[in-house]
Structure 1
Amino acid sequence: MTERILFVDDEPNILDTFLRNLRRAFDVATAEGPEHGLLALEGKGPFAVVVSDLRMPGMDGITFLEHVRQRMPDAVRIILSGHGDFATAVASVNRGAVFRFLTKPCPPEELVGVLRDALRQHRLVVAERELLRGTLRGSVQVLTDVLALVNPEAFGRSERIRDLVVKIGARLDAKPLWQLELAAMLCQLGCVALPPETLRKRLSGEALSAEEQQIWGMHPEIAANLLTNIPRLGEVADMIGAQQMPPGPDVPLGARILRAALDYDAELRRGLAPVQAVAALRTTP
């Protein structure tokens, strides 16, 4: 995919200069002012780099780049301004997370060098994200495969509640949903440390001995500890670790959803119809 660069300025002649001087070296798009810049983000993107003037009518460049950051977090942001005071540069870094703060007039060779640096930065950001995504996907696959091999019943339980958890999360506007889905997939991971008979007795409603009860109570913490060191799974680990805690304001919403889905599944496994299972949950403290 071509790496596009968007220039936003309220002066058409400056935009024309950018196009004339840079279009042979880069894929350049322009937008006259911040409002057209926001439209360009939707209609002409995605953009690898966004270069914005600072002083524009209606919206300054820092505010505009804040919008860019929200809509295209991977885009590298640059301020190009005729006002080069230190306070403004600091504000642009803190609020717009800009990559460079350049002052007008900017020599063409300097601008070209900065744009090349910005494109390299964008490639690094995208490569790191893809590496994390691949690492995360691979790690989750390995863990679920291990669970399926070691304790098929626990794996089946996590698979059964997965869709239910996502539906409840969507209804309650729990975001991001991908974390909740992963929590459902991995919430029984700690059961790899359980004797299969303990899980069978628990799911069938049979009484557990004091020792079995203690072992059962440890499985969320075991799973959470396994997940803590995997990048981007810290919040997922928190949900899983708290899945057996009594509902309360200090318990993550994801953990409360997990507990409700797991308890519902347990009631179904004991032979109750869905309506009866819901009724049983309503009477559970």
Structure 2
Amino acid sequence: MSQSASVLIVDDEPNILRALRRLLRSETFRVLTTSSGEEALEILADEPVNVVVSDSKMPGMDGAELLSRVQASYPDCIRILLTGHHDLEAVTRAINEGHIYHYIAKPWHDDDLCFILRQAIAFNQSERERKRLEALTQAQNDELKRFNSELEARVDARTAELSEIANQLDSAHETLKHSYVTTTRVFSSLINMRLPERHQTNSQITQVIKGFLQVHPVEEGLRYDLLMAASLYNLGKLSWDDHLLGLSSEKMFGDDRERYQKYPETAGELLMALEPLHGAAKLIRHHQERWNGSGFPNHLKAEAIPWGARLLRLSVDFIELQRGLMLNRNVSRDNALMLLEKLAGRVYDPMLSRELVTFLHDHAPDMGIIDASVMALSTDKLEPGMILLRDLHSKAGHLLLNEGRELTAGLIDKLISFESTESIRYTLLVRLPDEEALIEDETET
């Protein structure tokens, strides 16, 4: 992390500012503090700031207004809201008006707050680098166009050189795209940090949908919306009290039941503030609708329910049944499949239910298509050159390695060392190097 990075903390309570200064004094970034939104804007006008952390309730300019003005004048500055557990209105305003990166509930957990700030600074710096690369790419594109117009007469002689430049631009674009996807996965892992371990279902649901779409492909836009929805479908649960997070939906009554039924709508409204996630927001909003019209929040029926929302509902229920999040017990995989079939025509789209159940009968519940080159291995059996096929998270929900990463001897040694330190064992879904897969195929033949 850069030594020049800085965090500005805004809170009208001196004891809060003193507590945060003490907590963050060992961090590598610089900490600035002030007690009002007006003073914060003056500081921002005088010097660069990477992250602004603002209390939600302050006299005069409140946190939502301050972060909205920061977003308008300093859009590259990461914005974080510090708020009470039940202040959902302030959180919603800050997201809609200030486009905040995160919100932190009072009282905070010291380790979580420090981690969020480090991640925010890292994200800010990666976004700056991304924009620098985009500007470089645009400049190279402009230069390429100028060369094409000026050197038209010598096209044949310069074909090889132009081809090499085009390859470099493609590589830069792929690097930027990969960086954006990785950032989204980190955000999903931050959601998991708020949820109990058995509620951290995003990864398994994503793998079910990803595998199903390999057999039943859809257009790329819908595929993107489905995968984003699978990663963020439980965003609306972040405002729940801890006791509600520990209940299965079967055990929720009265006010608890009412709050449970609002989580898809809450997540959909939050994500509608982000234009690239409008499609995913619609799928999340309607993924608890029922085929017979008895679902929520809008009691949509049959084909009126978006197809992607129907698939998301089936995938969510398949995993959550096995985790004990729906009934007050863990349901076996076979019984979960039986329930998807039994409730087809009432809760689920009957045709889509049959297709998904057929797929899940033939494949692992949380993996895609398995072939001879794909294996689930412990760390002591990993070899350099293998490709990771599923994101690897720590026990705390942090992203350790992202899907598509090629394993090296150094990475494998670090994983083994990490296991020893954390007293945990990992099993990784990997694809063998091409030559090993060919040898295995020939042996089976």
Return the TM-score normalized by structure 1.
0.50
Of structures 1 and 2, the one scoring higher in RCO (CA 8 A, sep 6+) is 1
Structure (1 or 2) with the larger CA radius of gyration? 1
Return the TM-score normalized by structure 2.
0.32
